[in-house]
């Protein structure tokens, strides 16, 4: 855990991920005087409630990192590229939530439950990238299976909350829901399509040559980097759904070694960061509402792929699951803080 005497800089403190990072630090009892909240000039001078008091926000700049040991970047890629070098020059380790450094082969891409030991090999002051939220949730859920049986192929469909596109997207969903219930046509602004009572392809840029959108490309490349497995096959389909917070994913995996359903369930026993919700009789499985505001990745609908052949012992290489996880916590702020915890060791 980050020591209580460690000065932590939260860059982008007034944004959704920045506020989530502050909430997590507050819940851990990290002292207010050991946190420096910085943001844009527009937000400078505002205050953020913290531990019964408030933290004042200052303007982010090269001087923001003096005396600090770790900086949690919860801002845009442009800000990360501009200020991360200044932070490191001040001797401050950087954990970046943006996409600025994710594709850089010299910058580790870390999910602590999966490749946490990579942190110990990073030269100081460290620069570590937080993966894409959908990738984080997917790999936390699959790590128990990869560790036990190996994974050859992943087919995943995401059901991504609008909050992944920022606060304006949440407001748009709320407004459109009211408009449609009142019989009025919604007017999309944040998204190209109405997000209320609708499902559409993820709003990241589409590659016309490959047919992949940006979110899907990230899931492919980041999975291979984090697992250090350039041969794993990843086939994603990413969509937005009319959910405020927490992403869900439907996953089908091909294991390298066959397993029975009971062996798959046993692999999840004690798995770090995973909670199983798999009540077939009660028809209760993970939902984004359950996941919202919580830390684990919830996993359920565990079953052998019904279309696969099984051997005489009931084993198959093809298995399915469903997951839900809070993309603002484990998919962003919490993962970054867990990386900082490892750096503190």
Residues designated as active site: 133, 247
Decide: 235 and 156 in contact? Cβ < 8 Å.
yes
How far, CA to CA in Å, does 168 sit from each of 16, 132, 164, 244, 324? 11, 20, 10, 11, 23
Strands 70-73 and 93-96: parallel
Phi, psi dihedral angles at 9 (to 5 degrees): -100, 125
Return d(Cα 334, Cα 25) in angstroms, integer: 9
DSSP 122: S
Distance CA 88, CA 221 (A): 26
- The residue assigned the tokens 């602590």 is 112
3-state secondary structure of 271: coil
Question: Which residue shows structure tokens 């999966």?
Answer: 114
- Whole-angstrom distance, CA of residue 154 vs CA of residue 229: 13
DSSP 227: H
In whole angstroms, what separates CA 166 from the centre of its chain? 14
CB distance 122 to 108 below 8 Å: yes
Which of 339, 340, 341, 345 is closest to 111 using CA atoms? 339
Phi, psi of 297 (to 5 degrees): -100, 120
CA distance 323 to 302: 10
């Amino acid at each position: 855990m980050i020591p209580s005497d460690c000065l932590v800089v939260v860059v982008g403190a007034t944004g959704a991920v920045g506020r989530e990072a502050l909430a997590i630090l507050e819940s851990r009892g990290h002292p207010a005087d050991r946190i420096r909240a910085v943001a844009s000039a527009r937000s400078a001078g505002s205050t953020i409630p913290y531990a019964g008091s408030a933290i004042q926000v200052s303007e982010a700049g090269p001087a923001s990192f003096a005396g600090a040991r770790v900086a949690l970047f919860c801002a845009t890629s442009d800000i990360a590229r501009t200020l991360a070098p200044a932070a490191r020059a001040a001797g401050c380790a950087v954990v970046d939530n943006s996409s600025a450094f994710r594709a850089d082969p010299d910058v580790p891409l870390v999910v602590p439950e999966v490749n946490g030991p990579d942190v110990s090999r990073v030269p100081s002051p460290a620069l570590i990238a937080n993966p894409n939220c959908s990738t984080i949730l997917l790999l936390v859920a699959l790590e128990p299976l990869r560790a036990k049986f190996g994974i050859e192929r992943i087919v995943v469909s995401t059901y991504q909350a609008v909050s992944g596109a920022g606060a304006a997207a949440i407001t748009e969903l709320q407004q459109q829901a009211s408009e449609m219930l009142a019989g009025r046509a919604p007017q999309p602004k944040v998204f190209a399509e109405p997000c209320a009572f609708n499902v559409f392809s993820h709003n990241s840029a589409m590659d016309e040559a490959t047919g992949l959108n940006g979110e899907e490309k990230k899931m492919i490349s980041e999975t291979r980097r984090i697992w250090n497995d350039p041969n794993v096959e990843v086939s994603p389909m990413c969509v937005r759904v009319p959910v405020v917070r927490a992403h869900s994913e439907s996953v089908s995996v091909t294991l390298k070694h066959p397993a029975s359903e009971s062996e798959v369930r046993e692999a999840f026993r004690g798995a770090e960061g995973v909670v199983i919700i798999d009540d077939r009789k009660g028809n209760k499985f993970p939902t984004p509402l359950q996941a919202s505001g919580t830390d684990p990745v919830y996993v359920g609908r565990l079953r052998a792929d019904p279309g696969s052949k099984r051997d005489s012992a009931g084993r198959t290489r093809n298995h399915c699951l469903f997951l839900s996880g809070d993309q603002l916590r484990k998919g962003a702020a919490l993962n970054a803080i867990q990386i900082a915890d490892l750096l503190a060791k």
